Amino acid sequence: MKVVIAAAGTGGHINPGIAIANKIMEKEPDSKIIFIGTDRGLENDLVPRAGYELKHIDAYGINRKINLDNIKRLYKTIKSVGQARKILEEFKPDVIFGTGGYICVSVGMAAKKLKIPIVLHESNAFPGVAIKLLSKKAKKVLVGFEDAKSRIPNAKEVIVTGTPSKITDKRITLKDADRIRKELQISNNLPIVLVFGGSQGARSINEALVGIIANKLNTNYQLVWAAGQGNYNDIKQELNTKKINIENISNTKILPYIYNMQEVMELSDLVVSRSGAMTITEISTIGKPAIFIPFPFATENHQEYNAKVLENVGAAKIILDKDLTYTKLDTLIKELISNKQKLAEMGNKAKTVAKRNVADNIYLEIKKAISK
């Protein structure tokens, strides 16, 4: 199989593409796969690191403001269709797999002209502009959540597959749990609240956590907080001004990043986070209760729609970013952790949203698109 994967910008677009590339190579080791992205996004790190070739085109996301910069971006994006077409003509793929975002528009338009089958994947509950624009041209649109189905009315076929993730439903052992507690220097006596805001952290969540710590509110729960690589030192300095040593805070472990997220999430009693599609996928796969603070500037407000997927089944609570304060967050955390049975019920409800065998099912749909 020869496949071109269009994925650019953020990990939310790129990682699902890599997961499917890996699945194709597992099923058909003789396959040839290349990625198309830009020279600006995370794809330049993640794709080569995963062992795949990355081709560049000069495409951009276009906002609705009319200004010179936006006109230049539009011109370059239109021109990038020709760049994509040249790559496709040379590579001669059997199928295009696009994971959303502006890169899909350029590659998808070129593929349509060359009559190459297109399969799209949308991770979010509220589909992006690129997916909606290309949905008529694609053979199939695969979606992460049932809620997205009705929001792509012009697609020929919409199939709920889920979103591929490194997180599995495999449970950690008691021995592993003890090891992680020792590594994090946390006890077995208090509930664990895992807090993160994405790979770079989230300023409003971080500010709320500083308020909780500075006022010593988490006396009956422990915080394991991934503050974000770019924010860790700033938080360290801010805590220093309050005469708090970031390395020695009661009931609190602050890290720049959590690399073993599955293990730490398994160990946690409650998750507090943004609500990107990948985060929803991970939380539902493991089955954890959550408090979501959706990123308010996400395109089409899709993070709030994502959060509602779990809120609607009783697995999560939502605090809007504009309403977030450290006292409000602390109050809700305490309300939830005070009822172990309620937490367990929320976790089980989260599992009802999870999809199984996601990568395998997407692989099969790609195969069907080629054979039709």
pLDDT digits (tens, 9 = 90+) for 111-139: 999 999 999 999 999 998 899 999 999 99
The predicted pLDDT at position 219 comes to 96
The predicted pLDDT at position 75 comes to 73
User: What do you get for the CA distance between the two ends of the chain, in Å?
Assistant: 15
98 by Cβ neighbours in 10 Å (0-12 / 13-18 / 19+) ranks as buried
3-state helix, strand, coil in the chain (%, to 5): 45, 15, 40
- CATH topology agreement for domains 2-163+356-371 and 174-351: yes
Among 19, 14, 16, 15, CA closest to 36: 14
Contact 350, 290 (CB under 8 A): yes
Among 230, 120, 101, 250, CA closest to 189: 250
Among 206, 194, 232, 200, CA closest to 324: 206
The predicted pLDDT at position 218 comes to 97
**What residue has token string 């993070």?**
303
CATH number of 2-163+356-371: 3.40.50.2000
Tokens of 17: 């593409």
CA–CA dist 314, 349 (Å, integer): 6
CATH class of 174-351: alpha beta
pLDDT along the chain (372 residues), means of 10: 94 91 97 96 92 94 70 81 97 97 94 97 93 94 94 94 86 90 92 84 88 97 91 93 94 92 95 95 96 90 95 98 97 97 97 94 97 78
84 by Cβ neighbours in 10 Å (0-12 / 13-18 / 19+) ranks as buried
Domain ranges of the chain: 2-163+356-371, 174-351
Cα torsion 207, 211, 217, 220 to 10°: value is: 20
The predicted pLDDT at position 62 comes to 65
For 69, 74, 148, 283, 308, the CA distances from 63, given in Å and listed in that order, are 10, 10, 23, 31, 26
Q: Is the pTM of this model over 0.85?
A: yes
